[in-house]
Amino acid sequence: MLDPALQKTLDAVLARNPGEPEFHQAAREVFDSLAVVQERHPEYNDLGILARLCEPERQIIFRVPWVDDRGQVQVNRGFRVEYNSALGPYKGGLRFHRSVNLSIVKFLGFEQIFKNSLTGLPIGGGKGGSDFDPHGKSDGEVMRFCQSFMSELYRHIGEYRDVPAGDIGVGAREIGYLFGQYKRLSNQYEAGVLTGKGLDWGGSLVRTEATGYGAAIFAEEMLKVRDTSFDGRRAVVSGSGNVAIYAIQKIQQLGGIAITASDSSGYVVDEDGIDLELLKQIKEVERGRIAEYAERRGGRARFVSEGSVWDVPADVALPCATQNELHARDAKKLVENGVIAVSEGANMPSTPEAVEIFQAAGVAFGPGKAANAGGVATSALEMQQNAARDAWSFEYTEGRLTEIMRGIHQNALETADEFGRPGNYVIGANVAGFRKVADAMIAFGVI
Ligand code: NDP
């Protein structure tokens, strides 16, 4: 049961945003965590901080017309939700996936506020995207779509205003087309307007690897608290995109054995550990399907099209595909099979019921807004390099990322302790992220 004042604010938020289940889920989770703050600091809610935090500063929805390879006109919908700029310019990725709608963009933007605050870097929260599906599209189609998308978005963004990046369906190719069109329309080389850029044109080393690396580092930190490590441990990873690939790489570097990868068609199990070069060739270069991995592994891996990747026994689990991909039954199965830590590479991949099961079973659970913050943190490092017209080495940048991830872990752990919920990273991350944003909002007055 929530405190009545908090419940009243939450009810108003839910009523004002009907038909947005993902946003409701994200908002409920934050309100649940903030119950411990409400007990000690009712002034945040009294000052309307929560009501204001839940209402995006600006929401932009626009038409994206483009012409496909057959000469047919296609129309998609573009979104940019500029959620909160208390700590810096809006910052958050663009997602291109057929499922994208306002609810999904808002849940992602809302989470982004707290995540960005946790990094300790000066970035606000935002998110955007389109219901455009890049699967099966030619490079020319993707380029024309990106150019049309940016023809509207460019007027809303800028290095001091709003700095988009990649997410599902938006990688180096899409960022290139988007940046090219922005440069053309604005007639200036404003490198800091987008992150995730190519290394030859303002990108940062380690940005590609950062989210996956960060999620694995976060898992390692949780394991350390339990006096253990990845060494020799089996890990199940879902997804086979940017986050999953580099989570697998870092797990391997830390001595773990990542044995699975998946996409929306199924998953592969490779008991010897995923062959990363093969996975990268199929997914990053050929943009193929995950079944091809098993076909080309010469009998050492199997492809499973039914069931769930979470049925595979392992010590550590890293969901790295998409929201709500790990349900209560999956959590039960993982617990039965002896999982000790779960680190979310994706945003909100575990359902609330699954999170409860992990926590009740004493599994170390790192929520996405803490565990996957390495991507946006390194985006902020890319902005720093752009502003200074500088380019840092891989080693230096990775060192900064590692330091930031350890800092986030420590902050979440200590904040959970401070509020009497030891080991609860969900509460720790939400409260630590919230406090900084809330205090800045109070300083600025009612705006
Ligand atoms: P990619 O597009 O590179 O990869 C996404 C992967 O997840 C693909 O393997 C895709 O398979 C799978 N997937 C996507 N949607 C579904 C679905 N509905 N059902 C099953 N599988 C699905 O995206 P990223 O790796 O960049 O992002 C993955 C997650 O990490 C997202 O939640 C994103 O928000 C989060 N994240 C990403 C960051 C980044 O820096 N990239 C930063 C922080 C969080 P298929 O190809 O079959 O669709």
Relative to beta strand 58-67, strand 73-84 is antiparallel
In a domain, 227, yes or no: yes
pLDDT value at 331 more than 90: yes
Per-residue pLDDT averaged across 344-373, rounded? Answer: 98
Is residue 101 located within the same domain as residue 23?
no
Is residue 285 located within the same domain as residue 341?
yes
In a domain, 217, yes or no: yes
pLDDT averaged over every residue in the chain: 97
In a domain, 437, yes or no: no
Instruction: Give the pLDDT confidence score for residue 144 in this predicted structure.
Output: 98
Instruction: Ligand 1 pocket test: pick from 91, 167, 293, 351 the residue with the most ligand atoms within 8 Å of its Cβ.
Output: 167
Phi/psi at 62 (5° precision): -145, 160
Residue range(s) defining the domain that contains residue 10: 4-53
Is residue 37 located within the same domain as residue 73?
no
Q: Which atom of ligand 1 is nearest to the CA of 348?
A: 32
C-alpha–C-alpha distance, residues 268 and 256, integer Å: 17
Q: Whose CA is nearest to atom 43 of ligand 1?
A: 372
Is residue 225 located within the same domain as residue 361?
yes
Is residue 221 located within the same domain as residue 353?
yes
pTM: predicted TM-score of the whole model, two decimal places: 0.97
In a domain, 434, yes or no: no
pLDDT value at 370 more than 90: yes
Label residue 140 by pLDDT band (50, 70, 90): very high
Is residue 115 located within the same domain as residue 37?
no
In a domain, 200, yes or no: no
Q: What's the number of domains the chain is made of? A: 3
Is residue 335 located within the same domain as residue 230?
yes
In a domain, 199, yes or no: no
Instruction: Give the pLDDT confidence score for residue 181 in this predicted structure.
Output: 98
Q: Which atom of ligand 1 is nearest to the CA of 322?
A: 32
In a domain, 86, yes or no: yes
In a domain, 376, yes or no: no
Instruction: Give the pLDDT confidence score for residue 1 in this predicted structure.
Output: 83
pLDDT value at 292 more than 90: yes
Instruction: Ligand 1 pocket test: pick from 263, 283, 289, 330 the residue with the most ligand atoms within 8 Å of its Cβ.
Output: 263
Which of 371, 388, 405 corresponds to the end of one domain?
A: 371
CATH number at residue 351: 3.40.50.720
User: In the chain, what is the greatest distance between 2 CA atoms, to the nearest angstrom?
Assistant: 64
Beta strands in 328-395 (DSSP E): 341-343, 364-366
Is residue 75 located within the same domain as residue 15?
no
Q: Decide if 95 contacts 127 (C-beta within 8 A).
A: yes
Q: Whose CA is nearest to atom 17 of ligand 1?
A: 264
Is residue 124 located within the same domain as residue 178?
yes
Chain mean position to CA 269: 24
CA of 275 from ligand 1 middle (Å) equals 20
